[in-house]
């Protein structure tokens, strides 16, 4: 009886081990595919192609080391969930014109159940590009490449990855649904132009959490069509803050609805939490249900700002007001220090004034004194402590 029991137990264990083996993801290590002179472009393409064709869960692995990578598109649809795990340092070409004129260095697109993970760094080596960037003044400037393009991803996760010194934006999120960024850390100097951290557009259910973002522009920005966005436990600085917009510059823009920014810290940034729209255009749209709560400001120049006269480099006319309707906005429990006396600036459109704006528990100081507030075309509701609006300067 004991012998029979032992045989049965052994058979069950072997069956269990076999099932576990078949459940393990197929691993596609790029070293299998070669990397002449440290360039992994073709190796990564080939590993991705095989993994994407797998009918069971697969993983492409970039092990520890330092690698070169040219512009690359990694596309689906794939036949099963797929992960790219990067543990090494991957460098872009220094020369911005060695990326085939593409606007994104690495593109992940048309994929369901995708994961980008690891402790690796994607280094855009952007310093040469920054010196050539005149896009703020020149509308015909040469196109520079972002580190990442995430387009048309569904049910996906980007975690534990570092993005460094992108030539332009670090990450562009477009046409995505249910995508989470966690411990996605971005590092670029304050002097690097247009190196926005994460820009989101025409996407829904995007969550950014537990991340540190330092850049030369907005840490996180929301373009048109951004809905159900959550930004939580993010530290921003240096940079231009967390922004809705700019909105209203391009035709056929979709509304921005349902944003939660919570438990974030902004450290020595030009702006804190901001909503910005362009005047002088015919674009009609809405930004609504925007909630900013439990936010710490550390020496931030403009902690709370609505700017419906946003017009950098005088690229527009302020004669006609913005047609973007801003409504149902809550600024709650925002505290810390402002680098300017005017810590709250709510300058809304005279054509479509802001509605249902709430200031609640605002505790901001400048040189030990309470900040002041400037408002136009808005009558904010004050709940508990908040500075009282003064008329804008003439």
Residues belonging to the active site? 240
Residue 291 near residue 254 (C-beta atoms within 8 A): no
Burial 28-37 (b: 16+ CB within 10 A, else e): bebeebebee
């Amino acid at each position: 009886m004991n012998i029979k029991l032992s045989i049965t137990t052994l058979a069950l264990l072997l069956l269990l081990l076999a099932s576990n083996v078949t459940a393990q993801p197929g691993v596609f290590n790029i070293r299998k595919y070669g990397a002449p002179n440290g360039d992994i472009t073709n190796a990564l393409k080939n590993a991705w192609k095989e993994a994407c064709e797998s009918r069971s869960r697969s993983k492409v692995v970039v092990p520890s080391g330092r690698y070169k990578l040219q512009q690359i598109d990694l596309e689906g649809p794939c036949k099963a969930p797929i992960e790219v795990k990067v543990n090494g340092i991957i460098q872009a070409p220094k020369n911005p014109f060695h990326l085939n004129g593409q606007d994104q260095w690495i593109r992940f697109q048309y994929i369901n159940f995708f994961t980008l993970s690891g402790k690796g760094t994607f280094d855009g080596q952007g310093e040469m590009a920054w010196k050539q960037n005149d896009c703020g003044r020149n509308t015909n400037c040469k196109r520079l490449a972002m580190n990442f393009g995430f387009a048309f991803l569904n049910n996906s996760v980007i975690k534990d990855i570092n993005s460094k010194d992108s030539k332009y934006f670090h990450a562009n999120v477009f046409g995505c649904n249910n995508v989470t960024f966690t411990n996605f850390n971005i590092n670029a100097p304050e002097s690097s132009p247009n190196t926005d951290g994460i820009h989101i557009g025409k996407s829904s259910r995007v969550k950014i959490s537990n991340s540190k973002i330092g850049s030369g522009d907005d840490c996180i920005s929301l373009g048109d069509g951004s809905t159900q966005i959550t930004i939580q436990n993010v530290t921003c600085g240096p940079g231009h803050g967390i922004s809705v917009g700019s909105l209203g510059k391009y035709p056929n823009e979709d509304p921005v609805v349902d944003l939660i920014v919570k438990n974030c810290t902004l450290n020595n940034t030009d702006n804190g939490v901001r909503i910005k729209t362009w005047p002088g255009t015919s674009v009609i749209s809405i930004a609504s249900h925007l909630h900013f709560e439990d936010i710490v400001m550390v020496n931030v120049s403009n902690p709370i700002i609505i700017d419906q006269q946003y017009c950098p480099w005088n690229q527009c006319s302020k004669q006609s007001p913005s047609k973007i309707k801003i409504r149902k906005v809550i600024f709650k429990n925002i505290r810390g220090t402002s680098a300017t006396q005017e810590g709250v600036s709510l300058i809304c459109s005279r054509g479509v004034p802001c509605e249902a704006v709430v200031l609640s528990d605002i505790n901001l100081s400048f040189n030990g004194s309470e900040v002041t507030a400037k408002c136009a075309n808005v009558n904010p509701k004050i709940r508990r402590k908040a500075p009282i609006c003064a008329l804008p300067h003439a």
